[in-house]
Copies of this chain bind each other. A is one copy, B any other.
């Protein structure tokens, strides 16, 4: 058994309240006792038991990070990874730690009828929740609304969908539209638009707007799973649309997909940008520059978004009044000449 506050108090010849006061800087204690207590703490390598402390404070200093199952393992895409890096950084600095909450593969959401993060919230394992990858279709949103209504500290990454709650986002529809416009302006008329299923509910709007505004445009939207191996599908797509279908440009929703696209192009002897133009989203600055050939991209500052979300969440937890209820991040375009002017 590790030492408790009693052991420290006994060795230092003081009462446990004195030790507690020193631990929490909650009152003045005479220098002599401080010394004695510090000695005892080092002697035992004492650290306050978090169960005892938590029972009183109802605080764990842990933040839950949740991504629904349909968006794949958190560890899959460079987008979520950058988010995590940003989150990690802020939390570490504020002495919080990160608990990854994942839906188990087998039961998916159905174990208790509500998403996993609810357990953590109700059990008070976490002081707040960061969410990403909601797509409005699972039951996760129901649960989320419920805790938002209870004023539980939550920040979600994605578009606002409920009056309460703080969110952090980049204008997905807007930069997707810009991608299409950019290609259109260079003369491309038949474009394959890859997207992750996480964003499928935005898609109809994007397609509609693009086809309305850009008259001759023919858009071929194709969903990508985060879960299966997409390479064979891509090869089929390229055969059908690029080699056989007159399609001249591809939009990729992330660099990991772009890499596969490039290897597919290599295998099919399609040169970039001569035969096919490629435009990508990147979530880590400069990712597109590290490919060969370099790929033009819209940079979405995922790491900053993660940090921002974490900061807002910690502010909520520490009861700092928040001025903003929503924070938008700007994307930035990097032209690396992977688009051919037609």
User: A-side interface residues toward B, CB under 8 Å?
Assistant: 2, 45-52, 54-55, 58, 60, 62, 73-75, 81-82, 84-85, 88-89, 92-93, 97-106, 118-120, 122-125, 229, 231, 259-260, 262-267, 286, 290-293
Contact = CB atoms under 8 A, between A and B. Distances in A.
> Closest 10 CB pairs between A and B?
A266-B292, A47-B122, A263-B292, A51-B54, A51-B55, A92-B104, A47-B123, A50-B123, A75-B81, A98-B100
Contact of A85 (B45, B73, B106): B73
Contacts of A259: 259, 290-291
A52 B122 CA distance: 13
23 contacts: A2-B122, A2-B124, A45-B122, A47-B122, A47-B123, A49-B123, A50-B54, A51-B51, A51-B54, A51-B60, A62-B99, A73-B88, A75-B75, A88-B100, A88-B102, A92-B102, A92-B104, A93-B104, A97-B101, A99-B100, A259-B259, A260-B290, A263-B292
A140 B55 CA distance: 31
Contacts of A293: 266
Contact of A58 (B47, B51, B290, B291): B51
A51 B266 contact: no
A51 B124 contact: yes
A231 B51 CA distance: 47
Contacts of A58: 51
A259 to B, nearest CB: 7
A1 to B, nearest CB: 9
B46 A122 contact: yes
A108 to B, nearest CB: 12
A120 B123 CA distance: 19
A271 to B, nearest CB: 12
A227 to B, nearest CB: 12
Nearest to A56: B51
Nearest to A58: B51
A293 B46 CA distance: 56
Contacts of A47: 118-119, 122-123
B97 A99 contact: yes
A255 to B, nearest CB: 10
A322 B237 CA distance: 50
A96 to B, nearest CB: 11
